[in-house]
Amino acid sequence: MHHTTSHENHALHDFREESFSNTIFGFWLYLMTDCLLFATLFCTFAVLHSQTANGPTSVQIFDLKLVFTETLILLLSSFTSGLALLASLKNKKSQMFLWLGLSFILGAMFVSIELFEFNSLIFEGASFQRSAFLSSYFTLVGTHGLHVSFGLLFLAVLIVQLIVCGITVETFRRLVLFNMFWHFLDLVWIFIFTFVYLMGVV
């Protein structure tokens, strides 16, 4: 390992600081691509939502109480992840782990409820193969759920890294990126529960 002089430290310091802000912006741009991805799926849902092929309609299959529960759980998870980031700013590790752990549990609950919902729909005969409406519903909501699942994987790996390496520039950066991702997914969910579930029942 190089024994760096203070001059070298300065060059590396600038390089890493620039790298941090570039990574945040780059990840933001990735979230913009995700916006377009979800927009395409939303758009397809909008075009196909009335094509029920004489099968189950949205009014028949959506359980608003379940959706409300899911929504609150995800919102809470988004909130606790923010609290975790705040704790990391002050290097309060045990608080950070508490909030991160809660975020994970809440996120896992969200995915479980969604899987349960999908499973019961399929058993009732309202599978994604039944009609264009159901195909687009499962794909839109399922893509969001898949993103949440990847987020949980991201979070699990991050928690391990935080335990092993503590709060470093790298782990802090990844915590920030996780937060951005997690908040973004809650943002997309707003549009899902509004346009898919709530309007589906109206």
What is the pattern of x (binds other proteins, CB under 8 A) and - over residues 163-202? Answer: --xxxxxx-xxx-x---x--xx-xx--xx-xxx--xx-xx
Handedness of CA 46, 47, 50, 54 (dihedral sign): negative
Q: Are 29 and 117 in contact (CB under 8 A)?
A: no
Can you tell me which of 63, 101, 102, 128 binds other proteins, judged by CB under 8 A?
A: 128
Please choose, out of 32-40, 102-110, 114-122, the segment that lies near other proteins by the rule CB under 8 A: 32-40
Secondary structure class of 62 (helix, strand, coil): coil
Can you tell me which of 103, 133, 147, 178 binds other proteins, judged by CB under 8 A?
A: 133
Closest distance to other proteins from the beta carbon of 37 (Å): 4
Q: Which of residues 1-30 bind other proteins (CB under 8 A)?
A: 2, 7-8, 11-13, 15-26, 28-30
Cβ neighbours of 28 (radius 10 Å) = 12
Q: Does 146 bind other proteins (CB under 8 A)?
A: no
Distances (CA, A) of 144 to 21, 66, 95: 27, 17, 28
Nearest residue (CB) to other proteins, 120 versus 194: 194
Report the candidate in 139, 111, 12, 121 with the shortest Cα–Cα distance to residue 63.
121
Can you tell me which of 37, 119, 124, 163 binds other proteins, judged by CB under 8 A?
A: 37
- CA–centroid distance for 59 within its chain: 27
Can you tell me which of 3, 6, 36, 94 binds other proteins, judged by CB under 8 A?
A: 36
What's the angle, vertex CA 47, arms to CA 198 and CA 114, rounded to 5? Answer: 45
Any idea how long the chain is?
202
CB-hemisphere CA count at 13 Å for 67?
Answer: 19
Nearest residue (CB) to other proteins, 92 versus 101: 92
Nearest residue (CB) to other proteins, 51 versus 60: 51
Closest distance to other proteins from the beta carbon of 116 (Å): 19
Closest distance to other proteins from the beta carbon of 121 (Å): 14
Number of residues that bind other proteins (CB under 8 A): 95
Q: Which of residues 71-110 bind other proteins (CB under 8 A)?
A: 71-72, 75-76, 78-79, 82-83, 85-86, 88-91
Q: Write down the residue that tokens 């995800």 correspond to.
A: 74
Cβ neighbours of 25 (radius 10 Å) = 9
